[in-house]
Amino acid sequence: MAKQLHIETVGCQMNVLDSELVAASLVRAGYQLVDNPRKADVILFNTCSVRQHAEDKIYSALGRLKHLKDHHPERIIGVIGCMAQKDQGLIFRRAPHVDLVVSPGQLGRVPEVLERVAAGAGPQMEVSLDRTWAVRLSVERSFLPLDPSQRAPTRPARHQALVRIMFGCNKFCTYCIVPSVRGPEQSRPVDEIEAEVRQLADQGCLEIPLLGQTVNSYKHRAGERTYRLSDLLDRLNDIEGPRRLKFVTNYPRHMTRDLIEAVRDLPKVSPYLHVPAQSGSDRILKRMKRGYTAGAYREMLAQIRQTVPDAAITSDFIVGFCGETEEDFQQTVDLVRDGRFKNSFIFKYSTRPGTKSAEKYADDVPYDVKRRRNNGLLAIQNAISLEDSQSFVGRTVEILVEGPSKTSLKRAETGPAVQLAGRTVCDRIVVCEGDRGLIGRVISVEIYQATAFTLFGRFQ
Ligand code: 5AD
Ligand code: SF4
C-alpha cells in the first residue's frame, strides 16, 4: 500500500505554496495525501518564525504529536519551513521525537531525506548556509528553489494557483527574521514564470497570485533587457485563460509609476495592492530601517488613488516596536485614519533572536501597552473597513466562487444548494446562496448587506 502523508501548514502564502510543492514531489515519489495525521506514515509540519507566538504554538503542537509516535515508532515526523532554518538542531532537543528538519531553501531534498530516515539513518537535518558567514554565491546556491512544474495532482483549488516569482529578501528590516530564514533575494526568469502560468492556464486556472516577499522589487535580466514586475505583468496579461493576476507583498519604495500604471492599464491585473506601512512615525520607521518616511508613504498612497481610484489598498502595522512612544503610536493612528485601507493586519512587536532590533534595542514597550495599542488601532481600522464594505450595498459585483462558505462547512451542508464564498477582484469576501456547480466560475452577485469583512449577496 502507498505510504500516507499528512502536511500541516501554518504561516503565510509562501508556506502554503511550499507545502503544495513538497506534497507534489512526494506524491510523485508514491505517497498518498491524507487529512488525518493519525492515518499518516509521515507527518510534516511546515512552520513560521515571524513572531514568537507562532513558534510557541508550533512547539506545543509538536509536543502533542509525540503520542502518535509513541503508538507507532516507525511513523516519521518532520519539521520543515522557516523555523527549521532558524532553530535547526534546537528542534531535536526541544522535540526529540522529530526525525527530520529541512529548511525552506532545501525543500527539494525532502524525498531523499525521508528515504534516509526510513532506512534507519537516524535524525536528519538539511539547512541553508548562514547569510552572515558565507560568501554570496554559495549562500544563494544553498537556498534552492523548489521545482514548480508538474504540480497539478495536489493543487488544493483547481481555479486558483499561487506562483512564486522571487525568493528571499534583501531588505533586512531590523525586526524581521525573513531575510535570514528565506535567504537572499532571487528573481525567477520571466520565461520560466510565463511557462508555469501557461501550464496553469491550460489546467483551467482563473486566478493567479504572484508571490514574493518584496514582490515589486522583481528584476530579471535576460540578454540586453531587464524585466521589472510591470514588464512581467504585461507578458502574463496576454496569456489566454486566467482572468485575474494579483501580486503580494509590496515594498512601499518600489511602488513605482510604471507598476501603478500597469495596474490601471492591464485588464487582468487586479486593482488590489497590499503595501505594508508598518508605522506612521518617521523615528520608528528609521529604527525599523524601512527606507521611507511616513510622508513618502502618504505620497505613494495619493499616487495610487489618483491613478487607480477604485484600488483596494491594504497594509500591515507593527505596534509596540522598541522605543515606540504614545506620540509615535498616534502618528500610526493618523496614518490608518487617513490611509482608508480596505483592511490592515496589526501585529504586536515580537523580538526575534538574530535580528538587528533584538541586538540593538530594548524590547521596552510593556505587553499591556502593546495590547492596548493593537486593540485601539484595530478598532479604528475595523470601523473604516465597515464603512468601505457598506459602500457596496446595492451594487452588483463579479466574484470568483471559491467553494462552500465557512458557515456551510460548519453546517455540513450536503445538498447541491449551499452557501458559497468567493472574492471580488479587489479581494473582498462575498457569500451567497447557490449551486455547487458554480464553484470555480465567475458570477455576478447583488450585495444586500455588509459587515466589516464580508459582503452578503444574491446570485443574479
Ligand atoms: N514582530 C511583529 N510583527 C512582525 N512582522 C514581521 N516581523 C515581525 C516581528 N518581529 C509583521 C510585519 C510583516 C508581517 C508579515 O508580519 O508587519 O509585514
Ligand atoms: Fe521582512 Fe522587511 Fe523583507 Fe518584508 S521587506 S520580509 S518585513 S525584511
For the residues of 119-182, what is the DSSP string, one character each?
A: TT---EEE-PPPTTTS-HHHHHHHSPPP--SS-GGG-S-TTB--EE-EE------TT--HHHHH
> Candidates 15, 166, 178: which one to mutate for ligand 2, based on the most atoms within 8 Å of Cβ?
178
What is residue 1's predicted lDDT score, i.e. its pLDDT?
81
Among candidate residues 390, 413, 428, the one where a domain is terminated: 390
Same-domain pairing of 70 and 218 = no
| 24 Cβ inside 6 Å of ligand 1 | no
Same-domain pairing of 224 and 156 = yes
Same-domain pairing of 189 and 327 = yes
Give the HSE-up count for residue 243: Cα atoms under 13 Å, Cβ half-sphere.
16
What ligand is nearest to the CA atom of residue 318?
Answer: 1
Tell me the pLDDT of the chain (460 aa) as tens digits: 899 999 999 999 999 999 999 999 999 899 999 999 999 999 999 999 999 999 999 999 999 999 989 889 999 999 999 999 999 999 999 999 999 999 999 999 999 999 999 999 999 999 999 887 767 778 888 887 676 765 655 676 789 999 999 999 999 999 999 999 999 999 999 999 999 999 999 989 999 999 999 999 999 998 999 999 999 999 999 999 999 999 999 999 999 999 999 999 999 999 999 999 999 999 999 999 999 999 999 999 999 999 999 999 999 999 999 999 999 999 999 999 999 999 999 999 999 999 999 999 999 999 999 999 999 999 999 999 999 999 999 999 999 999 999 888 888 888 888 899 999 999 999 999 999 999 999 999 999 999 999 999 999 8
Same-domain pairing of 443 and 294 = no
What is residue 142's predicted lDDT score, i.e. its pLDDT?
81
What is residue 154's predicted lDDT score, i.e. its pLDDT?
61
| 84 Cβ inside 6 Å of ligand 2 | no
Question: Which domain CATH number covers 360?
Answer: 3.80.30.20
Question: Which domain CATH number covers 18?
Answer: 3.40.50.12160
Looking at the structure of the chain, the number of domains it has is 3
CB-CB contact of 99 with 116 (8 Å): no
Among candidate residues 359, 390, 421, the one where a domain is terminated: 390
What is residue 152's predicted lDDT score, i.e. its pLDDT?
57
Same-domain pairing of 119 and 155 = no
Nearest CA to ligand 2 atom 1: 176
pTM above 0.85, yes or no: yes
Distance 182 CA to ligand 2 centre (A): 10
Distance 174 CA to ligand 1 centre (A): 10
What is residue 136's predicted lDDT score, i.e. its pLDDT?
78
Same-domain pairing of 93 and 226 = no
Residue 430 sits at φ, ψ, to 5 deg, of: -125, 135
Q: Which three cell numbers stand for residue 60?
A: 506545543
525521508: which residue's cell? 114
Same-domain pairing of 127 and 151 = no
Distance 248 CA to ligand 2 centre (A): 12
What is residue 149's predicted lDDT score, i.e. its pLDDT?
65
Range of the domain at 241: 146-390
How many C-beta atoms surround the C-beta of residue 85 within 10 A? 25
Nearest CA to ligand 2 atom 5: 171
Distance 319 CA to ligand 1 centre (A): 10
| 171 Cβ inside 6 Å of ligand 2 | yes
Closest atom of ligand 1 relative to the 352 alpha carbon? 10
Same-domain pairing of 126 and 218 = no
Same-domain pairing of 315 and 260 = yes
Closest atom of ligand 2 relative to the 169 alpha carbon? 3
Among candidate residues 330, 362, 390, the one where a domain is terminated: 390
Same-domain pairing of 108 and 177 = no
Q: Who contacts 406 (Cβ-Cβ below 8 Å, separation ≥6)?
A: 421
> Candidates 181, 215, 297, 316: which one to mutate for ligand 1, based on the most atoms within 8 Å of Cβ?
316
Distance 339 CA to ligand 1 centre (A): 19
What is residue 318's predicted lDDT score, i.e. its pLDDT?
98
Residue 234 sits at φ, ψ, to 5 deg, of: -60, -45
Same-domain pairing of 82 and 107 = yes
Same-domain pairing of 151 and 234 = yes
